[in-house]
Structure 1
Amino acid sequence: MIKVRFCVLLIFMSACSLFAQKKNSKADNYFYAYAYADAIAEYHDEMRKEPLTNAQRLNLADAYFHLGNYRNAVKIYTDIYRKDTIIKSHRFNKMLQSLAKTAQRDSIESLLAKKNGLLSDELMENADFNLELLGSNSENETAFQVFGINGNSAQTDFSPSFMNDKLLFSSSRGHKHKKIYGPSGEAYLDIYLGRIGGDGDVVNPNLFEGIPASKFHKSTPYYESSLGKIFYVISNEEDDQLLFDDNGKNSLAIALARSSSGPDRSFYYLLKDLSTSFYYPFYDEATGRLYFAANFEDSYGGTDIYYVHTNNTQIMSEPINVGPRINSAGNEIAPFIYENNLYFSSDIFYGLGGMDIYKTSFQADDSFSIPVNLGAGINSPYDDFGFIIKNEGDKGYLGYFASNRPGGKGKDDIYGFMVSELPGLKTLVLSGKVAKPKSDLGIPEATVKIMDSDGQLIKQVISDLNGQYRIEIPWRDNIMIEANKENHSHYSRTIGKEELNKISGQSFQIDMVELVDLVVEKEAKQVIKLDEFSFEKGKSDITPEISTELDKVVAAIKSFPEMKLRIESHTDSRGNRNTNQRLSQQRADAIKNFILAKGVPSSVITGAMGYGESQLVNDCKDGVYCLDFLHDQNARTLFVVENLDEL
């Protein structure tokens, strides 16, 4: 029987309501006490007398789900989904999980295609990525050497945490100071410490006495060596009595204690709310953030991952949800950060089953890459959670996690693993803005494509209203990136491994020129927009001043490779008419040769014509006195765009 790990945590860790709920039926009371088999039987008895409400039917579906009866669960979920809008995102996830367990892939794809606003865009992208990845038998699957530790018991053991060369973990194995916790039938949780051997096995676990004792839950420890302190979860209590909110609920808090074997083993609450439980604390020394799992009103489904800012471990902010790239319609727990990667567990529908372990990377803008399922090397159709890892030098990496997979000693066991490199598929993240060059002005609705080295399309996205884009794919050492939009320049660039390592996860701007910014109407013609330039009197040499402007012409052609240009060179009326004609042609030819020497195809230049003084723009013709600046207006060069409507 497969359990959803979060529900197991509720049974073992989360507080229960001890008051009589007057509006609940007997079946409801069984359900809310986690007695799912009894709840199912009682709901069926009640159905014989009168129909169940939709809320009760969903409870019945949940009870089937928690007991692994996915066929009965999915019948109820899908029936309610078709007839009513009561189903919310976390139950939508359970419905999809149930469909996956009963091999109804077509139904999953159909529901995802409709989506109906229940799932975020980020979650849909995560789902597509991981479903493709898990179905591809990727060569990037890590070779885990997984083993059960000797320190496991016949009870529940989970939530490993390193403490120097030892391992802290949570366990429901009883001892004389721990009472039995009714919903689980096992002892209240406590924290144990075992020695890590040279082969990674954990032996000789004993009750950890470095923090104050409690008759109630102590669990999910995290030891921060730089502080010499332990973050952990504890029941809300005072003077050995549980504390309850106005609804009779006792919840779990996060506490902090200094690890000590001496008499000074005091602790204090860091995060405490009598109506909300906190799970799995993790302190990130680099940022001073304290991460944890909780179910607040702004959660995306069930339990989400949050963090608070701290200053010398004092809480300095409200809880901040890490967002929909990580949190989903399911439950997310057990955050752990290592080498700029966040590992966590989720029971979202596109995993292998129950809770799976995922890896995501922090990006430069404090966002996350797509969470990647660590795959069948470590995940299973059962619940896998509480992942930790550290570098053991020449031995590679040593880590631990918990699972309720078959073959263990108890309901949940701790498993160790050895691996030669950090697990998880490496992904390539390109994000930033499509914008005008040397500007922060974004270009919306541009198509951004990633192609492989053979020019085959891998993925494409459309930039948003601010020109922002984000695209993520499994890692490749070489890619081609292209961007297109009507009446804009075409962007194309091949990027190799070294540069990809630098720009992945960083802001990468794609510059595109809008055609209207390059072209202006002049003399009833559409011409390239340039600063005025002039040749030296009687000469056709390309000076530095002229080459600067001609480089702009070359850039415009390269931005719009389909452009067709005609070069027109004109002189003023001063001097001999025939001489002016020859000079203008020499200048037109010199310009053409300069442009072609820059690598522009000859087919782009449809003509290079010298018109001498035959097309003056004012009345400064032969025999008319004009000031120099008026004559200068006639000495000009135009680059006429002949196919503007086709670009």
Structure 2
Amino acid sequence: MRFKIIIVFLVFIPFLSTAQDKKSKADNLFYGYQYEKAIAAYKSEMQKDSLTNNQLLNLADSYFSTGNYDSASELYLKVNKNDTIMSVNRFNKMLQSLSKNSEKDRVKTFLRSKADKLSPELLENAEFNYSLLEIPSNNDNSTIRDLAVNSPQGDFSPAFYKNGVLFSSSRGRNTKNVYEPTGESYLDIYFARLSSNNQLVDVETFSEIPATDFHKSTPYYSDKLSTFFYILSNTEEGELRYDENGKNSLAIGTLSDTGRFRFILKDLSTSFYYPYYDDNTDRLFFAANFDDSYGGTDLYYVYTNNGQIMSAPINLGPRINSPGNEIAPYIFNGSLYFSSDIFYGFGGMDVYKANMLLNDSFTIPVNLGEGINSTSDDFGFIIKNDEISGLSGFFASNRKGGKGGDDLYAFNFKNDPGLKTFALGGKVVNLKNKAGIKGAQVRLLNQQGDVIKEVASTADGSFRVEVPWMSQITIQAMSDGYSIFSTTYSEEGMEEIQNASYNMGLSKMEDLVTEIEEKTVLKLNKFYFDKGKSTLNPQVEAELNKVVDAVVRFPQMRLRIQSHTDSRGSNSYNKKLSQQRADTIKDFLLKNGLNSSNIIEATGYGEEMIVNNCKNGAYCLDFLHKQNERTLFVVE
């Protein structure tokens, strides 16, 4: 059944609508989901006249839905080459077809050729997950088992409820109503008790939600609100309601513990799927096929006040939503789990996990890997932390070996599912004026010093980078004409910095230097050693730390340390004192990050280069003598 049971299965368009009467026999078969017959009819029509590009795409979709990916990809590529009518969702199907034919290298080449036309999030998500799926899976982390409660019909959309699990099914019930596109019963909600050995038993129709003659599906129960959220067919006085195009869509309704029912998201032309209410933020997440989607069905949320809708739907954005279909949102331990049929997965719908960041953004969704995912459709993932069984939960799949179109599966994890990643976002800015620096290189290095990821900052200096988790990471930023930023973090520091905006300041060389005595020198506050001494004091150390910082930012910087005294004291004494001070400065710098290549020389000049008239024997006030006592860091 593939995706039909969760999307096509839920949206009914009468075969005899006015719009479809104007179409060919093949078109009517296609829009009636009779794909095998549609293929035969399109082939027959092709003998009489050429098909339009829209019809070619319908034929490609028919091949795709029946598993003939060679023919599907051939047609998708043909239309994509000759016309621009292909939707992003069909673009995804084209790449899915190539992937299913083991042509991933061709997909990657195609992505590179279209890089300027595709979103950076899609390209980054694809690159990351392609690399991830090349890593051998660790099957020791999970156990997966099918369940005895499954039926020959479709069973899917599990949801925790009290001492058991709610789920959706098209198994037979006491009604003569049949959903025409599938010939099966309309979807209903069932309950199975969770036994002591974590099995689902004692399946029965869930009677707490009122019966309907049409679809009723994908339930979620909010403990905070004591309320059920679920989808159901749009009806009026017991009859299906259609929009002007003859489409009956699905709405989201709620049922409180007092028995009050109300529709909360309803539109005759838009279907809503998979409600999930986040008790922590009072946001209702769901899937829908709005016009602003990035592909097919996208994930959205609305703000609520105790379940009452308080905002327009907000799209989760291109980091989560793709040219494919995204469904079944579920939040656990700060991570969003959902399913997508995007082309870079194993095959059909796969389960992904993205960490939720503080600014309502997300890390790259990572494929949960083989086991939970297969070459078939895997979706409706739910998880909880059980005192006895640890991390456990359920999902649905139409993989081989099941009883019906979609079956329920249980799982246990030893550790958190999915690859842990390190994600960092922020800005590269000019330290002087805090303006963002465009095109700065942001690099992540591993413990061995190898560059594992490199990105460029955007026009306002923003960047975002993500890599698999590691025990230590070095973050660098650099740009032509600017200094280098480089800092290393252990795991504890990595956890802390990825939850906030990380800004890196770079300096221009011209902002760090000035002209003194016709020399280019580092710009520092003037400092003085204690009288007659060459040991460091806090004032001297503070300025020397600025020298260290400047060289760290510009590792190729080369300095001449030039120390001078005033004329008080003998020439030989001043010469010796200034050299001692120059040597002390050099030793400090070498011990604090500089190397010998950064220091060309360290020379004490004594009173050889007096800058005023305070020479031997001249009477001068103290502040005039201090003009001669100075240390310069000459930049070569």
TM, length-normalised to structure 2: 0.93
The CA deviation at 1:607 is 2.6
In structure 2, the residue matched to 1:645 is none
Q: Which amino acid counterpart does residue 82 of structure 1 have in structure 2? A: K
The CA deviation at 1:488 is 3.5
In structure 1, the residue matched to 2:80 is 81
In structure 1, the residue matched to 2:389 is 395
Residues 433 and 592 of structure 1: CA distance in aligned 2, closer, same or farther (over 3 Å)? same
Residues 456 and 542 of structure 1: CA distance in aligned 2, closer, same or farther (over 3 Å)? closer
Out of 318-327 and 512-521, give the one that drifted further: 512-521
Pair 1:340 & 2:338 matched: no
Residues 535 and 339 of structure 1: CA distance in aligned 2, closer, same or farther (over 3 Å)? closer
What is the SS of the residue equivalent to 1:425? coil
1:427, 1:474 within 8 Å by CA — same for their partners in 2? yes
Choose the corresponding residue for 1:366, options 360, 364, 382: 360
Query: 1: distance between equivalents of 2:391 and 2:246?
Result: 46
Query: 1: distance between equivalents of 2:425 and 2:522?
Result: 32
Choose the corresponding residue for 2:542, options 548, 552, 559: 548
Deviations 1:119-141 (A, max 9, x none): 321111111111121122144x5
Residues 116 and 587 of structure 1: CA distance in aligned 2, closer, same or farther (over 3 Å)? closer
Query: 1: distance between equivalents of 2:106 and 2:549?
Result: 52
Pair 1:376 & 2:370 matched: yes
Choose the corresponding residue for 2:229, options 228, 231, 250: 231
Choose the corresponding residue for 2:630, options 626, 633, 636: 636
Query: 1: distance between equivalents of 2:164 and 2:82?
Result: 54
What is the SS of the residue equivalent to 2:18? coil
The CA deviation at 1:427 is 1.5
- Kindly report which structure 2 residues correspond to 1:115-154, keeping only aligned pairs within 5 A, or say none: 115=114, 117-139=116-138, 141=139, 143-154=141-152
Query: 2: distance between equivalents of 1:255 and 1:613?
Result: 89
Residues 568 and 116 of structure 1: CA distance in aligned 2, closer, same or farther (over 3 Å)? closer
Query: 1: distance between equivalents of 2:408 and 2:602?
Result: 79
In structure 2, the residue matched to 1:109 is 108
What is the SS of the residue equivalent to 1:96? helix
Query: 2: distance between equivalents of 1:222 and 1:308?
Result: 16
The CA deviation at 1:622 is 7.1
Residues 164 and 561 of structure 1: CA distance in aligned 2, closer, same or farther (over 3 Å)? same
In structure 2, the residue matched to 1:9 is 6
The CA deviation at 1:592 is 3.8
The CA deviation at 1:323 is 0.8
In structure 1, the residue matched to 2:526 is 532
Out of 567-576 and 509-518, give the one that drifted further: 567-576
Out of 415-424 and 67-76, give the one that drifted further: 415-424
- Kindly report which structure 2 residues correspond to 1:60-459, keeping only aligned pairs within 5 A, or say none: 60-115=59-114, 117-139=116-138, 141=139, 143-177=141-175, 179-259=177-257, 265-435=259-429, 440-459=434-453
In structure 1, the residue matched to 2:557 is 563
In structure 2, the residue matched to 1:608 is 602
Q: Which amino acid counterpart does residue 10 of structure 2 have in structure 1? A: M
- Specify every segment of 5 or more residues in structure 2 that has no aligned partner in the other structure, as ranges: none
Out of 78-87 and 273-282, give the one that drifted further: 78-87
Percent pairwise identity: 53
Q: Which amino acid counterpart does residue 65 of structure 2 have in structure 1? A: H
What is the SS of the residue equivalent to 2:6? helix
In structure 2, the residue matched to 1:36 is 35
Q: Which amino acid counterpart does residue 10 of structure 1 have in structure 2? A: I
1:482, 1:491 within 8 Å by CA — same for their partners in 2? yes
The CA deviation at 1:174 is 2.5
Query: 2: distance between equivalents of 1:339 and 1:33?
Result: 42
Query: 2: distance between equivalents of 1:597 and 1:49?
Result: 86
Out of 63-72 and 608-617, give the one that drifted further: 608-617
1:28, 1:56 within 8 Å by CA — same for their partners in 2? yes
Residues 531 and 265 of structure 1: CA distance in aligned 2, closer, same or farther (over 3 Å)? same
Out of 325-334 and 21-30, give the one that drifted further: 21-30
Query: 2: distance between equivalents of 1:536 and 1:335?
Result: 67
Out of 531-540 and 186-195, give the one that drifted further: 531-540
Q: Which amino acid counterpart does residue 609 of structure 1 have in structure 2? A: T
- Specify every segment of 5 or more residues in structure 1 that has no aligned partner in the other structure, as ranges: 643-647
Equivalences, count: 634
The CA deviation at 1:529 is 0.3
Choose the corresponding residue for 2:472, options 468, 471, 478: 478
Query: 2: distance between equivalents of 1:357 and 1:374?
Result: 6
Residues 340 and 519 of structure 1: CA distance in aligned 2, closer, same or farther (over 3 Å)? same
The CA deviation at 1:170 is 0.8
TM, length-normalised to structure 1: 0.91
Out of 266-275 and 149-158, give the one that drifted further: 149-158
What is the SS of the residue equivalent to 2:403? coil
Q: Which amino acid counterpart does residue 603 of structure 2 have in structure 1? A: M
1:305, 1:327 within 8 Å by CA — same for their partners in 2? yes
2:137, 2:370 within 8 Å by CA — same for their partners in 1? no
1:12, 1:189 within 8 Å by CA — same for their partners in 2? no
In structure 2, the residue matched to 1:19 is 17
Deviations 1:82-117 (A, max 9, x none): 222222211111011111122223321221111255
What is the SS of the residue equivalent to 2:388? helix
2:477, 2:486 within 8 Å by CA — same for their partners in 1? yes
The CA deviation at 1:343 is 0.9
Query: 1: distance between equivalents of 2:442 and 2:243?
Result: 53
Residues 457 and 241 of structure 1: CA distance in aligned 2, closer, same or farther (over 3 Å)? same
In structure 1, the residue matched to 2:51 is 52
Residues 583 and 101 of structure 1: CA distance in aligned 2, closer, same or farther (over 3 Å)? closer
Q: Which amino acid counterpart does residue 90 of structure 1 have in structure 2? A: N
The CA deviation at 1:20 is 1.8
